Structure 1
Amino acid sequence: MDTTRVSSTAFDGTPHAPAHARKFVRQVLGEWRLGHLAEDAVLLTSELVTNAVVHAGTGIELTCRLDVESSPARLEIEVDDHHPAKFIDTADPAPMEAMRASGRGLALAGMLADAWGVTYTRTAKRVWVRIELTDTCEPQDLAGTPAPAPVPAPVESLHLAVLWCDRDGVVQAWNSEAENLLGWRADQVVGMPLHELVAWRGHGPYAPALADTLSLGRWRGEARMRHYDGSLVPVYVSHLRPKGQRSAVWMVVAADHRFVLAAPPTPLRREAGTRIKDLLDQDMPFSELLETIARIVQVSSGGDAAYVLLAADGGCRFGVAAAAGTTAGLVGVLATGVFRPGRRAPTLVEDLLAGDVELAGRLRARSLACAPLLVSGEVTGYLVVTAAEPGCFDEELTVSLQHIADQVAVPVQRERLAEQDRAHRGRLSFLAEAGELLAGVHDEELIAALTAQLVVPKIATWAAVYLTDLAGMTRLAHVWHSEERHNADLRKSLPAIPRTALNEVTWPAGQESVLSFPLLTQGRSHGALVIGRAEPALPLELADLLGDLCRLVALNLHTAMLYARQATTSRVLQRSLLPMRVATPMPGLESAVVYEPAEEGADVGGDFYDLFTVADHWCFALGDVCGSGPEAAAVTGLARHAVRLLAKEHYTVADIFDRLNQALLEEGEDGRFLSLLCGELTPLPQGGALCTIASAGHPSPLLLGADGAVRPVATPQLLLGVEADARFYVESFTLAPDDLLLCVTDGVTERRNGDRLLDDGDGLARLLSGCTGLSAHAVAERVRHAVETFAKEPSHDDMALLVIKAAAALRKVR
């Protein structure tokens, strides 16, 4: 009686075909009482149908064949398509992209099936896999008719033949037991092609040829070998091709002794998840391991999406570590009652909307089944499968899911601990690099640009940084794509000024999953970092890393904001310490000013100048406060405004010095002295001007005559702010037409180059003597250049210089 069972179905080559195929195979195996094979069979079927859909796109035929007459009984699954070279296009690219992501069809076939192969015809392609059933599967359970139990041959007649052949199938070794079994001596068969000793008939209509079998890593099955006397001996062969080697070893026994080499019983060997564990034992990166697990769970369960959750925050909550299928771009931790540390049994949720609306929205799913990953009684994570429609899963699925979870829990935990150690070192290195790059940057725009380039392409395909100002206005500051030519298009696709809060913005849909991370520090939002990734979900470790990076960026943005605010305040205040403009040009008098504070970024230091008109004459002042920076600038403001105010009240130069000296002493700041040069210019009828001048500890001004002679014109007196009883006097000289007066602070005379000063040996006077005939501006520039180039190192002192030149007869000021 024919005991072969066959069940077939056909469906269109659409992205929904794998789901229909999984359901069909699970139903057929249930009817045939082969539920213990369902996980492997469904997984293999899903991969084969997926490959057919992706690479053919035609109608597909699926056939399940159970042959109980063969020894051992076997289950064969065949997938036929009709145009093996055609590629399918679909209006909905998301499912197709999800299917293309697997790429493990042949690996699964080689791992889960006892044999597999591909048969081509002119119009079709057939891919098949075979799963053998061992003697523990009783024939009456499979075919419905009892069969006599096989009687094993006596052990005394056992001969275990071992032969070895090279990559071309030529026999290289032959043991004595092979001679006892088949009658050939070693010297007769060594060098003989193996196909001359084997009457190969294959197993089933689509079994591989002998040469293909020799190339497999492992194979077991029946064959017939030629005896020396010409007869054919039924044998059982266990073929092994060691990994990385091109030779093959055959262990051969008589067919009656097949139990010696046969595989372990199916219920023990094929318990759900054990072959999956073999697949996952391969050496692969941790992220790929998790993605493989998620893919296996999604494919074998028939769900729309699957996730691997791992414990986070000390094991109290669980975060998405990997995902497969049509996912929602999940990131971070799922805080929900479905996943909790105390739940040590699989869970089935018929409709998420009835119990957890938030989780249903994040997963975009209604049905959910999950199984905990248990290590030493502790829940270290979950395997989760979801579907968009309610009521898609049953209790049988949760049992299978728990079998898989039990097999992968320990390998995952072991690899995760190792990965956490590596990730911790990489995380510290990345954050250190980011901190060093952002340190000292006080420009918000530059911080945004550096942040985007830090995460692309290491973490994301593209990144955008939004900045929020003090008024609460948010704008797109910078975008960066891994392919720079897409930067302009990316900027156009993102909202330049979001109309809603950043956590409520609907980002443009595309091939990448878009995720947003707030830039928060001290309770204030400075904007957000938005990234696009090709992967559907962000691993928990990367989510934590991006969270740390965003906190670092937000802190730098906060510092930049404070710096900008302080710089603006200082700039406004410091500007008030300098004259807004030099006095109205005086007829017949030319003036030029150079002012350079030593502190980088400062507008005002300890030096100051002023030039203004009072009634029928002009006043000028040049001073230097002891020290530099804000403290010196405060005294600078007092001195400059006091000089101008007293001069406007018609105080003489000597009186101005007396009053200012008292004011500085009343301020009470120890060691805060002031050197000051102050003078008045009164026009003379014959041309030129009468200059009345006084110097309180200031470098003497130099007068350059029309004949090129240079002489000092004021005697230094006591510094202001030293003694309350100090009295000051004035000196006068005539500034004739074409005469030039140079007034400088000690930032010029004491410019240092090693042990030398610029004014050593009357260096400044010699410099000025070469300026005969030059304008006031030209002289000022020449002196400035001389100070700058006197030494390679920049000056550490403030510098101010004032040049006044009489060009013609002065007219009285009205």
Structure 2
Amino acid sequence: MDTTRVSSTAFDGTPHAPAHARKFVRQVLGEWRLSHLAEDAVLLTSELVTNAVVHAGTGIELTCRLDVDANPAKLEIEVDDHHPTRTILAADPMPAGGGPGGMRTSGRGLALAGMLADAWGVTYTRTAKRVWVRMELTDGCEGLELLAGTPGPAPAALSAPIDTLHVGVVVCDRDGLVQSWNHEAQHLLGWRSDQAVGLRLADLVAWRGHGPYALSLPDTLGLGRWRGEARMRHIDGRLIPVYVSHLRTRGRSEDRRSIWMVVARDHRYVLTPPPAPLRREAGTRIKDLIDQDMPFAELLGTIAQIVQVSSGGDAAYVLLSAEAGNTFGVAAGSGATAGLVGVLATGLFGADRKTPTMIEDLLSGDVELAQQLRARSLACAPLLVTGEVTGYIVVTAAQPGRFDQELTVSLQHIADQVAVPVQRERLAERDRAHRGRLSFLAEAGELLAGVHDEELIAALTAQLVVPKIATWAAVYLTDLAGMTRLAHVWHSEERHNADLRKSLPAIPRTAIEEVSWPVGPENVLSFPLLTQGRSHGALVIGRTEPTLPLELADLLSDLCRLVALNLHTAMLYARQATTSRVLQRSLLPMRTAPMPGLESAVVYEPAEEGADVGGDFYDLFTVADHWCFALGDVCGSGPEAAAVTGLARHAVRLLAKEHYTVADIFDRLNHALLEEDDDGRFLSLLCGELTPLPQGGALCTIASAGHPPPLLLRADGRVEAMATPQLLLGVEAGARFYVETFELAPEEVLLCVTDGVTERRNGGRLLDDGDGLSAVLSGCAGLSAHAVAERVRHAVESFATEPSHDDVALLVIKATAALRAVR
């Protein structure tokens, strides 16, 4: 008789296929009475189907085949896809002993197949590829014999007389008071129903707890399910050893009941689950993986995956303590992790909780955590190293009441197996991550240093995290008015940048942390850009990985603080630049006065980067029937010198408008500077008047207070210095100043400069050494005033490779024809 059993199904090659496959295999093995093999079989199936989805992308056929006639009996699981040209990259056998290098960073599922299955292989046909695993059933043969129709041996516990079996049923309310007591319970313990109802269950049970992580009786009554041995009090005072199966009903809290099924300890086989010998316990299997040389993040991910599959939960996590030591964050996850990231700030995970915990419904105790995990059921066990909690292994499920107390014991066994190796690897990884973190932040700081443009900062930030940390990134900026806008997006594949920008809200209608991001293949996370209590926007990233490790979350937080600080600096810089522009409008003339018959040109370049004004100034304006011009240089540069600049320029214009002579202007301004009592703030000033002459040209009356003398370019190309330097203004109260006059004929050019021109330095040489400026001007014969100004400016700029460290100002005036009187 052929006793081979076969069960098959088919799935589309979608991301949901592994979940459907796990459910199918678990159901089939349950029907074949092979539930004790489900842990390994489901894990292998999940990995093979995942590989087929990722690498083939076609429809998938899954077949389970059980051959009980083979010696030994065997279970085969086959996964067929329809892309035979895709070879299995990880099909090489693992080295014996599994030493370093024995497990690749890819193809982990086939490495697991090599560890968990007795044999595996790949079969290629013209139209399909089949990956199969074989498990020899040396354990649990009793179930196989029953499947094949051969009577199996009865459990040893059946040696107890069956006629003495009594199954008592006891029902208690939520306070532990007995509400119902059946006739079988009376046979077992002697209490009649009317005697037992109303008693406290605690008075009927000699409770000492059971197992290495014992719970109190009230805690046990609060569990959804529990099985174990106890001792209950007989009516005659004896303590009867019994076996209890506990179940708590669902519903509203006030309506919940505890149901106890009680048998004598010798009849415990009636209530105990069937034996489930495992080919290899999950804790041992994980420990074998720890012995492999694999990246720390991948190790944690594998632990989470095995725990999730073996427990039957919807998701599993490995939590590790944050640097502060009192909080715990997600280090790895598997299953429906929903992009969980960061620290779980809840009392459930604390440094003082050193025993495993099971919660039947999170919504009844911690709504925030239930929403964060998207789960109702939770079981967890601490990772203990030298008595300290270093992390947790957590399993969750979307439905309430999915787990029982036995699972917490299994989780604690796993946690005990991996706690020390994980902590050792984590310390080594933390050291490596710390060095990499410092290097990354140093690179980011160097890249952002000195950048004062918000748009450029946003662009650099996005490109810092893509593709090193995220698949894509977007930077939102918040202005001083509180308006938030999308400033920059960057995708690892640049062709997706336009689509990414369209999919993200350009101006969020809600706060960034409340935005509903578009659903896609990546998990979307946002990090605020905060500094000094002010939000400058947010960094939003998309990652294909389901969770964000703690170290990476800390790195992104540090990066965001650095970016926010640079944005704050850029904001201050922009504010200062605006202030400088406003100051410039008051310190420099908005326009020079038009002079019929004369051309004028001005060059003004402050030395300080980003400044609009400095210590040099100029002015050109009309007074009655003549023109006035001034060119000055305050000792120093920057805003401090600009303050004196404002005083000097406005004083010159005001005094000239009041018809003071050039000498009187110098005298009054000299006293004004001395009254300011600003030590070291001296002023060199060149000031003159141009009066039109009937024959053409102009009569120039000029005085120079410590200023470089103006140069006059004659029509024949000769260059002459036209004023004698006198004492600086602001030095001596008793100083007396005088004027000089000369005629500016048609086609002649007057060049007035500050010492930023004459003292332009290149090593030990100055621009005006050997009459260098005169040589530059002599080559400007026949040029317009603007052309002369540009040639001199270019000579100053190109004289040295280093930028000038002094303010540069120059004024060019050229007589072109007979002047008309000013009206």
Scaled by the length of structure 1, what TM-score is found?
0.76
Residues 110, 705 of structure 1: CA spacing in aligned structure 2 closer, same or farther, 3 A cutoff? closer
Matched residue pairs, number? 671
2:747 to 738, 741, 744: 738
Instruction: Please name the residue that 1:606 is paired with.
Output: 615
1:490 to 500, 517, 521: 500
1:465 to 472, 475, 482: 475
Q: Check the 8 A contact 2:122/2:129 in 1, yes or no.
A: no
Instruction: Please name the residue that 2:756 is paired with.
Output: 747
1:107 counterpart = 2:117: no
1:515 to 500, 525, 534: 525
CA distance in 2, matches of 1:699, 1:749: 8
Deviations 1:6-54 (A, max 9, x none): 887666646424124225536765xx8x85x664455446556777999
1:642 counterpart = 2:651: yes
Residues 350, 419 of structure 1: CA spacing in aligned structure 2 closer, same or farther, 3 A cutoff? same
1:328 counterpart = 2:338: yes
Deviations 1:39-86 (A, max 9, x none): 44554465567779997856755455667x96xxx55323367x6537
Instruction: Please name the residue that 1:698 is paired with.
Output: 707
Residues 488, 296 of structure 1: CA spacing in aligned structure 2 closer, same or farther, 3 A cutoff? same
Residues 807, 110 of structure 1: CA spacing in aligned structure 2 closer, same or farther, 3 A cutoff? closer
Q: Check the 8 A contact 2:25/2:38 in 1, yes or no.
A: no
Q: CA deviation at 1:535?
A: 0.7
Letter of the 1:570 partner, please give it: S
Gaps of 5+ in 1: 88-100, 148-265
Letter of the 1:690 partner, please give it: L
Q: CA deviation at 1:457?
A: 0.7
Instruction: Please name the residue that 1:718 is paired with.
Output: 727
1:806 counterpart = 2:803: no
Instruction: Please name the residue that 2:400 is paired with.
Output: 390
Instruction: Please name the residue that 2:136 is paired with.
Output: 130
Instruction: Please name the residue that 1:569 is paired with.
Output: 579
Q: Show the 5 A alignment for 1:405-416.
A: 405-416=415-426
1:581 counterpart = 2:595: no
Q: Show the 5 A alignment for 1:124-273.
A: 127-133=133-139, 144-145=152-153, 270-271=280-281, 273=283
Residues 21, 612 of structure 1: CA spacing in aligned structure 2 closer, same or farther, 3 A cutoff? same
CA distance in 2, matches of 1:138, 1:586: 113
CA distance in 1, matches of 2:330, 2:144: 44
Residues 143, 338 of structure 1: CA spacing in aligned structure 2 closer, same or farther, 3 A cutoff? farther
Q: CA deviation at 1:810?
A: 1.7
CA RMSD of aligned residues (A): 3.5
1:453 counterpart = 2:473: no
Instruction: Please name the residue that 1:358 is paired with.
Output: 368
Letter of the 1:620 partner, please give it: F
Residues 684, 367 of structure 1: CA spacing in aligned structure 2 closer, same or farther, 3 A cutoff? same
Residues 793, 438 of structure 1: CA spacing in aligned structure 2 closer, same or farther, 3 A cutoff? closer
Residues 5, 386 of structure 1: CA spacing in aligned structure 2 closer, same or farther, 3 A cutoff? farther
Q: CA deviation at 1:521?
A: 0.8
Instruction: Please name the residue that 1:591 is paired with.
Output: 600
Instruction: Please name the residue that 2:440 is paired with.
Output: 430
Q: Check the 8 A contact 1:294/1:323 in 2, yes or no.
A: yes
CA distance in 1, matches of 2:432, 2:635: 56
Q: Show the 5 A alignment for 1:305-344.
A: 305-344=315-354
Q: Which moved more, 1:349-358 or 1:782-791?
A: 782-791
2:545 to 527, 532, 535: 535
Residues 758, 8 of structure 1: CA spacing in aligned structure 2 closer, same or farther, 3 A cutoff? closer
1:651 to 653, 660, 663: 660
Letter of the 1:427 partner, please give it: R
Q: CA deviation at 1:553?
A: 0.8
Instruction: Please name the residue that 2:449 is paired with.
Output: 439
1:85 counterpart = 2:91: no
Task: Provide the secondary structure at the position in 2 that maps to 1:273.
Answer: helix
Q: CA deviation at 1:296?
A: 0.9
CA distance in 2, matches of 1:62, 1:759: 95
Q: Check the 8 A contact 1:48/1:127 in 2, yes or no.
A: no
CA distance in 2, matches of 1:434, 1:387: 40
Residues 679, 18 of structure 1: CA spacing in aligned structure 2 closer, same or farther, 3 A cutoff? same
CA distance in 2, matches of 1:297, 1:783: 78
Q: Check the 8 A contact 1:25/1:42 in 2, yes or no.
A: no
Instruction: Please name the residue that 2:515 is paired with.
Output: 505
2:767 to 738, 758, 764: 758
Task: Provide the secondary structure at the position in 2 that maps to 1:576.
Answer: helix
Q: CA deviation at 1:303?
A: 1.9
Residues 9, 644 of structure 1: CA spacing in aligned structure 2 closer, same or farther, 3 A cutoff? same
CA distance in 2, matches of 1:729, 1:288: 87
Q: CA deviation at 1:470?
A: 0.6
Residues 677, 407 of structure 1: CA spacing in aligned structure 2 closer, same or farther, 3 A cutoff? same
CA distance in 1, matches of 2:287, 2:810: 84
Instruction: Please name the residue that 1:199 is paired with.
Output: none
Deviations 1:300-350 (A, max 9, x none): 222222211112243322111111112210000112233223333332222
CA distance in 1, matches of 2:395, 2:313: 6
CA distance in 2, matches of 1:735, 1:268: 109
Q: Check the 8 A contact 1:46/1:300 in 2, yes or no.
A: no
1:679 to 663, 684, 688: 688
Deviations 1:560-606 (A, max 9, x none): 111111121122113321111001x2222222222222333322222
Residues 690, 330 of structure 1: CA spacing in aligned structure 2 closer, same or farther, 3 A cutoff? same
Residues 115, 710 of structure 1: CA spacing in aligned structure 2 closer, same or farther, 3 A cutoff? closer
Instruction: Please name the residue that 2:29 is paired with.
Output: 25
Q: Check the 8 A contact 1:479/1:491 in 2, yes or no.
A: yes
CA distance in 2, matches of 1:515, 1:293: 24
CA distance in 2, matches of 1:381, 1:559: 39
Letter of the 1:144 partner, please give it: G
1:290 counterpart = 2:300: yes
Identity of aligned residues (%): 79
Residues 738, 368 of structure 1: CA spacing in aligned structure 2 closer, same or farther, 3 A cutoff? same
Q: CA deviation at 1:670?
A: 1.5
Letter of the 1:752 partner, please give it: R
1:771 counterpart = 2:768: no
Instruction: Please name the residue that 1:666 is paired with.
Output: 675
Task: Provide the secondary structure at the position in 1 that maps to 2:587.
Answer: coil
Letter of the 1:85 partner, please give it: H
Residues 741, 144 of structure 1: CA spacing in aligned structure 2 closer, same or farther, 3 A cutoff? closer
Gaps of 5+ in 2: 12-16, 85-104, 156-275
Residues 75, 392 of structure 1: CA spacing in aligned structure 2 closer, same or farther, 3 A cutoff? farther
CA distance in 1, matches of 2:118, 2:108: 17
Letter of the 1:737 partner, please give it: P
CA distance in 2, matches of 1:708, 1:377: 95
Residues 64, 315 of structure 1: CA spacing in aligned structure 2 closer, same or farther, 3 A cutoff? farther
